[in-house]
Amino acid sequence: MKNYQTLLYYCYSHIDNAEQFAADHLAFCKSLGLVGRIIVADEGLNGTVSGTPGSCKTYMDTAHADLRFAKTDFKIDEVDEPSFIKMHCRYKPEIVHSGLRDPKSIDPTKETGKHLEPKEFMEMKDREDVVVLDVRSTNEHNVGRFKNAVTLDIDNFREFPAKINELAQYKDKKILTYCTGGIKCEKASALLLKEGFNEVYQLHGGIIKYGKEAGGKDFEGKCYVFDNRVTVDVNQVNPTVVSTCLNCGTISSRMINCANPECNEHFTQCEACGWKLEGCCSDTCMSHPRKRPYDGTGYYVKVPQPINVEKISKRQYKKMGSPVTSATSSS
């Protein structure tokens, strides 16, 4: 057993006074010595937290003791060190931004795709009447995806609704959706059902659970995760690498953030190009005056940014209904 664990989880369940719950929950997590990132909304929880096995057990036991979160499925990874540096717990309108004008038009607690356990998903995915759909962003599926999966060119899940028309050609098929831990599929499958797709399924527990319970068979590349690890191995059966270095085209699964904080592009870069370009995606970013020191990891701790007085002035003018002149607008 390793010294720390990382928990990935979500739960759709109504939370009264969710803003206050977020503040109280942050204090609770800190009292356990946990680090991580949790989103709280009226519709539920979405989180990844990391800490000692004892702290993680206390967290899971406390969640399961609460009727609202009793059915939460925790994906547990053993790690050598905590996967975050700080603990954040924030209130937001949705635990996954759907991009809908009326987010309440879909409710995963009432209607969503049929859940498939990993071994059921593995058995169905290669049938002729099935389409496997990746509902994650381009950055995520570029570094790893299921063999023959349909992928979408999106930067964020909120762009998914606008892409549904592109999937109309598959309406006569069984649609098997998947994502990292399952949370995006809850809304994606609900949206597909609402748009007239008749047979919609989702991989219960996502790629992470599939790797643990089905050996990750036919998942090509690595799985992108939203913590310091950036990517994790999934496939123990027939592993391969599908991503290539942005700069030289060499096959590589190494993802970093651009050292230029004003770019901060998340991309694949081999180790050789990383040192050559000092962790930047281009020569332009390499010469940027605010370029961060590169230590070979391509991971940077977020720090408070200087206050942009021009942007604040612009927002104030808009609130007052006054025209914004070129003198106050920022590029």
Tokens of 265: 């592009």
| Beta bridge partners of residue 115, listed in sequence order | 202
Cα–chain center distance at 25: 21
> Element (H or E) spanning 238, and its range?
none
- Please pick, among 29, 179, 245, 258, the residue that the annotation labels catalytic: 179
Amino acid identity of 7? L
User: 292 with 301: CB under 8 angstroms?
Assistant: no
Question: Buried b vs exposed e over 209-226: b needs ≥16 C-beta within 10 Å?
Answer: bbbbebbbbbbbbbbbbe
d(CA 172, CA 152): 19
Half-sphere exposure of 148 (CA within 13 A, CB side): 10
User: Between the CA of residue 238 and those of 219, 221, 234, what are the distances in Å?
Assistant: 8, 10, 10
d(CA 98, CA 187): 7
298: left (phi over 0), alpha (psi -120 to 50) or beta: left
Amino acid identity of 278? E
d(CA 234, CA 243): 15
DSSP 279-312: T-SSHHHHT-TTPPPP-SS------PPPP-HHHH
- Would you call 179 a catalytic residue per the annotation? yes
Tokens of 188: 């994606």
User: 235 with 220: CB under 8 angstroms?
Assistant: yes
Task: For residue 106, count other CB atoms closer than 10 A to its CB.
Answer: 20
Positions annotated as catalytic residues are: 179
